[in-house]
Structure 1
């Protein structure tokens, strides 16, 4: 009887422990995408970059700001547009100090399936093992790759608005910046950083073209509109990851060697396949409308696109997002009077598409960016206070106004 009572006592204790674990309100540790960027095929881009020449016996150091923190970090490298295997000889991650300098006591080696080297096939991605690195929300991480063998043309993101650094030889373990004498404003191979911590609210993906990507914002300023939205959510006590899925020059219906795969083609990869996404904010169509009005080599292919085609594209992406359980916020296109592809034809298309976005009821919510940034004296023109100078891209103040135009309750 004594033994039986002891067994029953033990069984009750185990049951109680299991019940407590199952009913605990504490969030289990999860891996959350804290930063990500869409990948593009190599091109000469908007300013000099290293994508076409690639890397050989180079150390590449890149800095990104995470919008959620955690206790450990994993990175994803992409060879999506590579022609040959991408071989990484070594890699590290650290908390950024300033520029190419990192905090010495935070430098951590990165492993891939337990190995310090990695080989990524053409068209493939690879995620690292977790590295013990604590980052707070809005801190920056520095990822350093040593690429000993020639990479060939590099999968990259053209408009990073962040400084990336290059050195000759292996400097992955350097904490200072002395060796990193070359710079560009693009990101290469690095497509995401994930942080492990407590589960939180679903991520917001801002999906669009250069206005989402941040053209007109300040290099290393982290003042694109998705950055401002993340800051605003945190200030309101509702912090969550905000991921920027903008590509400068991107269109809804046409692929471009300069501006990436069309929004329709990349929507699944850059939005739906991101783990933990709850909402997508869509903003696109301005380039579809405007490129056909201007005969520039970089705008080609530039077919005439109708408003009906753009609406059909939006409906396709809305349907895919809803089937995946996401909320969809539609953003109205910004005024562009004075820009090089503003014509009576493009202006009429812009007005018609914005009217559909505002009134169709097909979005779960609408962010009226157009009204928020319009010149009070001429609603087809950007407010000069918000104009970066080209009459269609906002400056940092304009990007803050865009973030302020989103009703946080709709996320």
Structure 2
């Protein structure tokens, strides 16, 4: 072989290596479904080939599907645009949403969907902030058909989503498909409009108002701001059923703000988003009526609503009061605690840390009896003894009336003697020891 020929072969080999490296890099850059990767630009569903950034996927907001919306059994919301307003607990440089047809009896056809930052409060609550409207795609298509009982996750779009932002998630379905999967006690006003107004930025057509979240069950963000997610799993107290509407005063909202503030102060804590998977009336053991069950039990929904939530690292459980209140016969505290231990075991199998709450008092509520009080006290004693969760937050001790520990303190009582006031919710979040969020991946108890 001549020297000149050798140089030619070497040059060809170098060119081949460069080409293969570029191809491999491009293939890796295109993916966005793994926990850590890269994100392509996705404005109006047309991604660039070049990667935009590296980071981690985490859940910024979530809500559990509860049942089928009454009155939508036949036609669903055919011919209407649904604009959900959700509030973020973490920020990122990209986003994707999960849409659910869990309670639908037929396939849900969505021809358009969009994501945008809300312009503001009041009259602008349904309007999109300038330059933030993004068309969502699903496997590259602007439309998606979600089978009955199924869900769909959108492709990622490039959009800077700040912490504490209101985000608009809008869908349009042209054909009947009911009932609509919804979360009834949103404590947040969302909107509806006639016709396909998915990419309307003014908000003017959105004259319909609703206290429900429809179809949307999660908003995930991508970036380097959050390393994971805290999932708060509970009942109406977690759902924030008596908190001020449109004010984000549920206790998980306040907890997210506390964690954010502590990180900004330089405290050495995990960088987590906080999502609310509370369902009003939820029980550890018993399902609600129907198939699939409306208000599925904590045991039944734990995989979907907690373990499978994007970036889950810690699960906070505040569940058990409805198992006491909603049974015609006296509840067995040992069975309830065994159910809670099952949740913990399943979380540990995924490497998730668990924090559990004691059950708060409810004397004065129409369901209170001395026998039920004994059940609550027995459950709390087992939780405090340390054999259920990795860590405990003692809401009962902090919120009970010192003059009658079977009641909520008056200033923490919403008035129904079961659910906290805004001050009560804030106090719950303030007494939560943020250090309990450290150390995901505990050994089994």
TM-score by structure 1 length?
A: 0.88
Is the 2:59–2:228 contact (alpha carbons within 8 Å) kept by the matching residues of 1?
A: no
Whole-angstrom distance in 2 between the partners of 1:284 and 1:31: 27
Following superposition of structure 1 onto structure 2, how do residues 311-322 of structure 1 map, counting pairs within 5 Å?
Answer: 311-322=337-348
Map of 1:176 onto structure 2? 202
Q: Secondary structure at the match of 1:151?
A: coil
Which whole-Å CA distance do the structure 2 matches of 1:327 and 1:52 have between them? 43
- Structure 2, unmatched stretches of 5+, are 19-52, 264-268, 438-445
Unaligned runs of 5+ in 1: 15-26, 293-301
Deviations 1:57-105 (A, max 9, x none): 0010011011111111111111111110000011111101131111131
Change (3 A) 1:318 1:52: farther
Deviation at residue 201 of structure 1 after TM alignment: 3.5
Q: Kindly tell me: are residues 64 and 42 of structure 1, through their superposed partners in 2, closer, same or farther at Cα, counting changes over 3 Å?
A: same
Q: Determine the structure 2 residue equivalent to 1:248.
A: 280
Give the secondary structure class of the aligned counterpart of 2:365: coil
What pairs up with 1:227-246 in 2 under 5 angstroms?
A: 227-237=253-263, 238=269, 239-246=271-278
Give the aligned partner of residue 213 of structure 1. 239
Distance 2:362 2:161 in 1: 39
Preserved CA contact (<8 Å) 1:339 1:392 = yes
Alignment of 1:59-208 (within 5 A): 59-98=81-120, 99-198=125-224, 200-208=226-234
Whole-angstrom distance in 1 between the partners of 2:294 and 2:103: 13
Give how far 1:305 is off. Answer: 2.5
Q: Among 280, 291, 295, which residue is 1:260 paired with? A: 295
> Does the CA-based 8 Å contact 2:58-2:228 persist in structure 1?
no
Q: How many matched pairs?
A: 384
2:309 match = 274
Aligned twin of 1:409: 435
Q: Distance in 2 between matches of 1:50 and 1:197?
A: 38
Whole-angstrom distance in 2 between the partners of 1:150 and 1:188: 15
What is the root-mean-square deviation in Å for CA atoms of aligned residues? 2.5
Cα deviation code 1:258-287 (max 9, x no counterpart):
961000111111111112211111111111
Aligned to 1:341: 367
Q: Is the 8 A contact 1:250 1:259 kept in 2?
A: no
1:51 is displaced (CA, Å) by: 7.3
CA distance in 2, matches of 1:53, 1:347: 45
Q: Contact between 1:209 and 1:247, CA under 8 Å: does it hold in 2?
A: yes
Which SS does the other structure have where 2:272 is aligned?
coil
Q: Distance in 2 between matches of 1:263 and 1:344?
A: 26
Distance change (3 Å), C-alpha of 1:357 and 1:52: farther
2:220 touches 2:310 (CA, 8 Å); kept in 1? Answer: no
Contact 1:28 1:199 in 2 (8 A): no
Contact 1:247 1:259 in 2 (8 A): no
- Cα distance in 1, alignment partners of residues 349 and 374 from structure 2: 32
Q: Distance in 1 between matches of 2:75 and 2:235?
A: 25
